[in-house]
C-alpha cells in the first residue's frame, strides 16, 4: 500500500511540475514585450501623375534612340537589320499562326508579313517592331487560322523595315492546319 501511495504522489508531483511549466511558459507569459516597429520606406506606390508619365515616355524614347544609334551609328547609310525566326507555326490544329522573331539592327519600325499559297488569296499583315529588355521583335505577330482560306503549306515572307533601312527577306514554308 505504501508503494502505491508513493507512486501516486510522484505522479501528482510530475503532473504538477508539467502544469506549472505550461502555465509559466505558455499561459502566464506577461513579460512586457517590446513593440517591433518596421521602418517606413519612402516608396510611393500610387499611380504616376501626368508629369511622371511624360518623363517616363521621354526616357523610353531616349533609350530606343540610343539603341538605334548603337545598331546604326550612321542613319544615312543602309543599316544591317538581321532577323532570326524563332517560331513560325501553330500550337495545334485550329490555333492561330504564331510568328516570333529576334531582330538586331533596329528597335523600331514594322514587320511586313506575307503568306502565299497558289490559287489562294495572299495574307498580308504588318506588326510593329518593339524593343523589350534586350532585343526587338514583332509585337503581337499572331494570325487567326480563320484568315487562311485553306489548310496546307503556305510560303512565308518576312521583311523588317524602319525609316532608314530594311532587312533581307526571310522566307520559309509553313504548315497550316484548320
For residue range 14-35, list pLDDT tens digits in order: 888 887 777 777 666 565 666 6
**Mean pLDDT, all residues of the chain:** 84
pLDDT of residue 70: 63
Dist. CA 85–CA 105, nearest whole Å: 15
The three grid cell numbers given for residue 85, joined into one nine-digit string: 525566326
Query: Residues of the chain with pLDDT > 70: what percent?
Result: 85
Among 85, 69, 66, smallest CA distance to 77 is for 69
Supply the pLDDT for residue 83. Answer: 93
| Alpha-carbon span 158 to 41, nearest angstrom | 49
pLDDT digits (tens, 9 = 90+) for 44-72: 778 888 888 888 888 888 887 777 666 55
For the residues 87-95, what does the mean pLDDT come to?
93
Give the residue among 120, 167, 161, 127 at the shortest CA–CA distance from 143.
127
Are residues 131 and 162 in contact, defined by beta-carbon separation less than 8 angstroms?
no
Q: Is 0.75 topped by the overall pTM? A: no
List the beta bridge partners of residue 85: 101
Burial readout 1-19 (b: 16 or more C-beta within 10 A, e: otherwise): eeeeeeeeeeeeeeeeeee
Pick the CATH number of 61-176 from 3.30.56.10, 2.60.40.10, 1.10.10.10, 3.90.320.10: 2.60.40.10
Print the SS3 string covering 16-65: HHHHHHHHHHHHCCCCCCCCCCCCCCCCCCCCCCHHHHHHHHHHHHHHHH
* Residue 77, C-beta contacts closer than 8 angstroms, at least 6 positions apart: none
Per-residue pLDDT at 141: 95
Q: What is the pLDDT of residues 110-150, one digit of tens each?
A: 999 999 999 999 999 999 999 888 889 999 999 999 999 99
Residue 175 has pLDDT above 70, yes or no: yes
Span 67-87, average pLDDT: 69
Amino acid at each position: 500500500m505504501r508503494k502505491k501511495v508513493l507512486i501516486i504522489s510522484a505522479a501528482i508531483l510530475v503532473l504538477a511540475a508539467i502544469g506549472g511549466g505550461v502555465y509559466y511558459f505558455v499561459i502566464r507569459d506577461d513579460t512586457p514585450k517590446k513593440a517591433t516597429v518596421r521602418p517606413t520606406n519612402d516608396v510611393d506606390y500610387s499611380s504616376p501623375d501626368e508629369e511622371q508619365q511624360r518623363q517616363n515616355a521621354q526616357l523610353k524614347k531616349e533609350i530606343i534612340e540610343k539603341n538605334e544609334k548603337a545598331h546604326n551609328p550612321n542613319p544615312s547609310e543602309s543599316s544591317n537589320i538581321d532577323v532570326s525566326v524563332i517560331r513560325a507555326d501553330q500550337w495545334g490544329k485550329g490555333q492561330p499562326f504564331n510568328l516570333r522573331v529576334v531582330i538586331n539592327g533596329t528597335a523600331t519600325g514594322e514587320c511586313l508579313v506575307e503568306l502565299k499559297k497558289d490559287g489562294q488569296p495572299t495574307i498580308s499583315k504588318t506588326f510593329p517592331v518593339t524593343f523589350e529588355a534586350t532585343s526587338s521583335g514583332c509585337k503581337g505577330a499572331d494570325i487567326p487560322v480563320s484568315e487562311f482560306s485553306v489548310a496546307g503549306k503556305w510560303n512565308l515572307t518576312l521583311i523588317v523595315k524602319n525609316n532608314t533601312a530594311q532587312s533581307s527577306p526571310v522566307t520559309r514554308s509553313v504548315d497550316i492546319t484548320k
